[in-house]
Amino acid sequence: MNRRQRLLVLSGDNAKSLSSRFPRRRPWKFLAGLGLVGFGVVMAAKFRGQMKFISSSGSSTTDWPFVIPIGEKVASRKRKYPIRGVILHHTVTSSPQTTYRVFLQRGVSTHFEIAPDGKVWKYLEPETEVAFHTGQAGFNDRFIGVDLTGPPFTEEQIKVLPKFLEYLSKRYGFRLAIYPGWGYNPELASAPDKIEGVFGHAHVQSNKIDPSEGGNVPWFWNKVVASVQGVGGSLAIA
């Protein structure tokens, strides 16, 4: 009796062969299986690559140590107009990694995100790339998008924000001025090519309340205004 015959298990009418339950593997199926596994490994590596990030230590073109995503790029288009300032937002996410995934899924973007630990994530280069951060072409074309991860916000974010805005004003050549009021302002919203400085998303789009925390929009904006004035910023008037 050979080995395959010895694997017969007899139990009345239910006699079955273990050799039939575990048939001999055919070489071509085995190789095909290896191919599928290999393809899966490659695709998994590609996906993981989209979620890898690097930290820059600064270069001749920037002295701010950014965290930069590696992989698929967020939505953008080529810049045509000079930069006139910054529009501030909040992400309603808990981490830049989540923000990045949302950007890729929805086809929207920002230039920078200030994470809860105070690190600044860079998605696009403002000098050459327009981000889709306001839903209005006039502001997208002329303003840098800066998001705060959250809310809630951390003290690290609030400390970094005015210094980063000061850096951006010097790096990209716009006046460090912040609009002191709060709420939608039709004068601002209709003049993206005339106003200059730092504004909230809520100033230029009537259905937005960002950046804010806990629903207390004016309180948070006053805190931002004070922090920008603390680094030498002036007030922007519509």
What pLDDT sits at residue 63? 81
Residue (of 88, 76, 79, 78) closest to 112 by Cα position: 88
pLDDT at 115 over 80: yes
DSSP letter (8 states) at residue 215:
T
All structural domains of the chain, each given as residue ranges with its CATH number in brackets, are 53-235 (3.40.80.10)
User: Model's pTM, two decimal places?
Assistant: 0.77
Q: Within a 13 Å sphere around the CA of 54, how many CA atoms are in the beta-carbon half? A: 6
Query: What percentage of residues in the chain have a pLDDT greater than 70?
Result: 74
Cα 198–chain centre separation: 20
Which tens digits make up the pLDDT trace of 32-73? 444 443 434 333 333 333 445 666 544 444 589 999 998 899
What pLDDT sits at residue 21? 31
Average pLDDT for the chain: 81
What is the pLDDT confidence band of residue 214, given thresholds at 50, 70 and 90?
Answer: confident
pLDDT at 217 over 70: yes
What pLDDT sits at residue 60? 40
pLDDT at 135 over 60: yes
Q: Of 107 and 2, which is predicted with more confidence?
A: 107
Residue 100 contacts residue 147 (beta carbons within 8 Å)? no
Query: What percentage of residues in the chain have a pLDDT greater than 90?
Result: 67
Residue (of 191, 189, 218) closest to 206 by Cα position: 189
Tell me which amino acid residue 86 is. V
The helix (run of H) or strand (run of E) holding residue 144 is strand 143-148
The helix (run of H) or strand (run of E) holding residue 133 is none
> Nearest-5° angle of CA 157, CA 162, CA 165?
110
Long-range contacts of 221-224 (CB under 8 A, 24+ apart): 221/182, 222/182, 223/158, 224/88, 224/161, 224/162, 224/178, 224/200
pLDDT at 87 over 90: yes
